[in-house]
Structure 1
Amino acid sequence: MLDLALKSVIACLPVIVLAAALFHLDSHRLLGTHFLARMFLCGGVTAVLSAVVNAQVIAAYPFEFLDYTRYVAPLIEESLKAAVLIWLFRTNRVGFLIDAGILGFTIGAGFSFVENIYYLHLVSDAHYVTWFVRGFGTAVMHGGATALFAIIAQKLTERHLQMNPLLYLPGLIVAVLIHSIFNHFPVSPVLSAAVTLLILPTLLFLLFERNTVSIHNFLELDFATHQRLLRQLEHGEFTGCEAGRFLLDLEQIVPEAVARDMINYFYLHTELVLGAERILLAREQGIEIRIGAETVAKLEEMHRLERHIGRAGLKMLRQHLHFSSTELWDIHLLDEIAPAPAHRPT
């Protein structure tokens, strides 16, 4: 029993410790622990799905096992993990590059955790070296490959609101290549595990450290931009910006009542995004700003307007007013931390 417990620690603990370390690098606390726990579970589910799909493909096609692990399994497993992240991107649950990396690593950690538990049950008598390779090599590879997919996808899609599958392809290719190269074991398995443990976490830590500065600069710039835009809206200075000129022309495009709702929606959206950025800038200083009843009421009103305007109207607004995915994530953040549940957008 002690032998199995020790092997379990070697196989499962390293990647969880790394995921926790990455989470603590996030000075803005953009992701909650409960949300990350759900993503860890999602990663575990993808491991189960991968096992099912791999078994069916192996049964249906006459692959050599070694060739399958090198060329086919990486594509299936990385695609399933990537599918979870694509859903997160499309539902505005990823705000910045550091979020993407942490979520990707967490999903990969959940995948490797379930996979290693399965192998512990299957071949529990394997030598400790096997569990060292799986814990410090394979598990870190799963987390790192998925994190890199997430980071590349975030970088390519952060300014695009429309779904374009091709933007996710480069990150998927990188993840599959990393997985495939690891499975080739060009040298000894132990050395491959050591190289993986050294390179992937170091790369992620460097990216995160650089992105923390980028987030601060981005927030300050966006905060100033939204402050200026809000002042223009409050004083009726619509002609001072492209968004304002579009809003002035709305009554010629849609009925007056709908145009009024769209203008109110844009005003509330800008005000709430500014509030979310104020919260994030305060978190940098270790200050937690609570959301009050007034903000909750504004969220409710904005979501009511979304339902009234409809999908076609919202699509037109977002195209002409150049909403970014980060702004939509700001609204999602407020929805998540509001003391009372606000209605979700349609």
Structure 2
Amino acid sequence: MYYLASRPEAALPVQVIRGFGTAIMHGGTTTVLAMISITLYESRPNGGPQLLLPGLLAAVVLHSGFNSLLGRPALATLATLLVLPSVIYLVFRQGERTLRDWLDADLDSNVQLLESINTGRFLDSNGGRYLQSLRARFRGEDLADMLCCLRLHGELALRAKGILLLRESGMDEPPIDAETRDRLAELAQLERAVGKAGMLALRPLMMATGKDIWQLTLLGR
């Protein structure tokens, strides 16, 4: 509207092209900012507001490039149509790659955790020693519930990661069976029994980031 009022002599098609390009530019830069920020926060859930800076910088660079062509609206719109989809595609591919790397790494860590619990070697690990150090703060039955909660969380996280891997491969997801729903209910019951203080103490072992919680929510659908 400002440009329309300040340049009344400009032809209507020029104004339409400029408005079209501006709309695409603002939508595209906002998308780039959101996609970069989400990708960074997925890999660093407690990273803080500074993780917004890379996406903001990319949006500012794209916006500045558009503004540098202020006097050539047709060229600015054409450049926006050519550049923004490519940038969004590259950011999307990088986000996919980050998700795939996280799935592979987290899958290995969950398998190792469950294997150590099932074979009785967990108490000899750093995680087991950490759990034993909580004896002064929690009762024995609470620690037993915490260990069961840790095992169930790992099993359900593996199940959720399997569903995500199927989605990544474009395959059909199996329906959530009754056993999985029972385990979800059991996990919720254990979390209530352990209490907020116990779950907070378990957080370093469960690696309960936003992704893990999202995985378990995915299973409950």
Distance change >3 Å, CA 171–CA 208, structure 1 → 2: closer
User: Under a length normalisation based on structure 1, what TM-score does the superposition of the two structures give?
Assistant: 0.52
- Residue from 196, 199, 204 that aligns with 1:319: 204
In 2 relative to 1, CA 255–180 (structure 1 residues): closer, same or farther, beyond 3 Å? Answer: farther
Residues 216 and 176 (structure 1 numbering): CA distance in 2 closer, same or farther, change over 3 Å?
closer
| Structure 1 counterpart SS, 2:176 | coil
Deviations 1:267-286 (A, max 9, x none): 11111110011112223152
Larger Rg: 2
Q: Which residue of 1 aligns with 2:183?
A: 298
Aligned match of 1:274? 158
Distance 1:255 1:232, change over 3 A: same
Q: 1:189 aligns with which of 73, 82, 107?
A: 73
For residues 194-213 of structure 1, the aligned pairs below 5 Å read: 194-213=78-97
Aligned to 2:8: none
Q: Structure 2-normalised TM-score?
A: 0.76
Letter in 2 for 1:255: R
1:288 aligned residue? 173
Match of 1:330 in 2: 215
**Cα pair 2:32 2:87 within 8 Å, conserved:** no
Q: Deviations over 1:213-268 (max 9, x none)?
A: 55444423432332222122122221454333322333333233332332222111
Any unmatched runs of 5+ in structure 2?
Answer: 4-10
**Structure 1: how far apart are the matches of 2:37 and 2:196?**
25
Cα 1:206–1:233 shift into 2, 3 Å: same
- SS of corresponding position for 1:288: coil
Q: Distance in 1 between matches of 2:173 and 2:145?
A: 32
Letter in 2 for 1:247: L
Amino acid at match of 2:173: E
The structure-2 alpha-carbon separation of the partners of 1:131 and 1:253, relative to structure 1 and needing over 3 Å to count, comes to farther
Query: Could you say which residue in structure 1 is the equivalent of 2:26?
Result: 142
**Percent identity at matched positions?**
35
Residue 30 of structure 1 is matched in structure 2 by none
- Does residue 259 in structure 1 map to residue 127 in structure 2? no
| Among 215, 219, 223, the residue aligned to 2:107 | 223
Partner-residue secondary structure (3-state), 1:158: helix
CA RMSD after TM alignment? 3.1
Unaligned segments of structure 1, at least 5 residues: 1-64, 67-125, 339-346
Q: Deviation per CA, 1:152-197: give whole Å up to 9, x if none.
A: 3234433444472333344335435544654564441221121122
Q: Relative to 1, partners in 2 of residues 1:264 and 1:186: Cα closer, same or farther, differing over 3 Å?
A: same
Question: SS at 1:286's partner residue?
Answer: coil
The 3 A distance-change label for structure 1 pair 163 and 203 is closer
